[in-house]
Structure 1
């Protein structure tokens, strides 16, 4: 009975409000089935992703304590640490959004949902940085080695700092300006990330069987292990971005059409968050694979 009343109220609310109003988007988190879908997504992140993230940060801290001062960290690991930290903030944001929805606190919904939504956009830059790093290492190995000896670490730190500044600035701007541009920002960033990852993937694929600088021509036709790992990394990132782009495009198209209305519209709109779940796993799982910590793989300890 209560569910029917809530659903009926949601249908009335959406049908009597402007389709471009940001209050519709907020109300989707407040009333079922949208609130149920987003709550299930948040609980899944807390139960599955959060322990994984904490484990990665703890493992990385232990590794950092053991390594010598002259030894530099793997840039792929550094990108993963930063993305994991940003994802933890996103989980906190989605949790705040759910709490606001069930306590009917509008400010909590706005703050939590926008924090989660903007981080969902900005975190893709760490996927891009990973692809670009592998691209430079394989396509321009001489430049990559020289950068590692000179300003490579500085460039990476500046890049990651820009990502964090962009994220903080967008969250502050979204909370100050009452205009919902999250979906525009999301698809622009996602399309850009797809283009860059696709370019890096094709570039690495072209040189996969070519000998590198200093290698004998007789090795032509044999796949270099480093190149193969780089190709797998970029391909994995590209695949999850394609899934995310395709799934969200379908959900957004359906929610923007006249086919659905009321609670069904909200259900489709909120369901798009599930297509981003794979992109939250890809860098952590690749990190564990590099560290030989994935239980589903057998690693040669010799």
Structure 2
């Protein structure tokens, strides 16, 4: 990315921005970053818009009935909002780099930092919801009413509020240990959910015989595939975050690796929207998984 700007502005940019982000103005890294932005524009953005379109259609259909939207679908809709906010942040990010506009760049950095926290949180909430549905079905059924909706909304509100408050601290001084701890905790929760669902899947419960057994197994299998998909994505993210953490703490940050870390986060942006589209029946190529 060629930045035709005075050296004084470039120097100011280097002084104000975090040291680990300075590499974005170098040409190899800027090309990697630009290619990532083009990819999310052509891939993530259309999928997110389509998910919101389907969600709006379902809401209109259910407004005439007494049915409610599932908790996992609500988490997916908030995840899509996170991705749209993330796209806006990357847009400001890129514009700030091209124009060497420090304030716009920092606003974009703020937005991108927040979406990293929110993305992991909604992955965890989705896994916990699937875990309750399979391992504690009675409790899960009781949470389908107004009480469950209140708990769900409180959890969602906490995700947005807490990380909006934490993100400015991360901008002033990168919270490497805090971020790594959150990643490990989230990974541990998802791993526990996956193992618990697997244990329930391989042993029959009381009253699960014959045709009922097949129906229950299909439901459990779908929940297990959902959690395992999220677990695989979070393992990739954890490895990427660990490499970034080690290089940043050691002071030997590899510029290209830092920028390429965005590519490793791409699957985590896709997993919940694609699972939603699969449940909606629009991904016909994946129907055999649940049969």
Q: What TM-score range do you get, normalising by the shorter chain?
A: 0.7 to 0.9
Give how far 1:256 is off. 4.7
CA distance in 2, matches of 1:268, 1:217: 53
The counterpart of 1:66, out of the listed 41, 61, 66, is: 61
Aligned positions of 1:259-278 closer than 5 A: 265-278=254-267
The counterpart of 1:140, out of the listed 128, 136, 140, is: 136
Give how far 1:69 is off. 4.0
Is 2:223 aligned against 1:230? yes
CA distance in 2, matches of 1:220, 1:65: 34
213 and 125 in structure 1: CA distance in 2 versus 1, 3 angstrom threshold: farther
- The answer to whether the 8 Å contact 1:211/1:217 transfers is no
The aligned residue for residue 186 of structure 2 is 193
Give how far 1:219 is off. 8.1
CA distance in 1, matches of 2:214, 2:181: 38
The aligned residue for residue 103 of structure 2 is 107
268 and 298 in structure 1: CA distance in 2 versus 1, 3 angstrom threshold: closer
Decide which moves more: 229-238 or 268-277: 268-277
246 and 86 in structure 1: CA distance in 2 versus 1, 3 angstrom threshold: same
Q: What does the per-residue CA deviation read over 1:210-264, in whole Å, with 9 as the maximum and x for residues that have no partner?
A: 2335434998899711111111100000000001111232244345547x57xxx
More helix by share: 2
Q: What does the per-residue CA deviation read over 1:3-37, in whole Å, with 9 as the maximum and x for residues that have no partner?
A: 7x99xx9xxx9xxx99xx95322322223222222
TM-score normalized by structure 2? 0.86
41 and 293 in structure 1: CA distance in 2 versus 1, 3 angstrom threshold: same
Is 2:234 aligned against 1:241? yes
- The answer to whether the 8 Å contact 2:75/2:122 transfers is yes
Aligned positions of 1:206-221 closer than 5 A: 206-216=199-209
Decide which moves more: 21-30 or 210-219: 210-219
- The answer to whether the 8 Å contact 1:255/1:266 transfers is no
CA-based RMSD of the aligned residues comes to 3.0
Aligned positions of 1:1-302 closer than 5 A: 23-67=18-62, 68-171=64-167, 173-174=168-169, 179-216=172-209, 224-254=217-247, 256-257=249-250, 265-298=254-287
CA distance in 1, matches of 2:212, 2:57: 39
Equivalences, count? 281
170 and 251 in structure 1: CA distance in 2 versus 1, 3 angstrom threshold: closer
CA distance in 2, matches of 1:217, 1:127: 34
Give how far 1:186 is off. 3.0
Unaligned runs of 5+ in 2: none
Give how far 1:108 is off. 1.5
- The answer to whether the 8 Å contact 2:114/2:164 transfers is no
TM-score normalized by structure 1? 0.83
SS in 2 for 1:215: coil
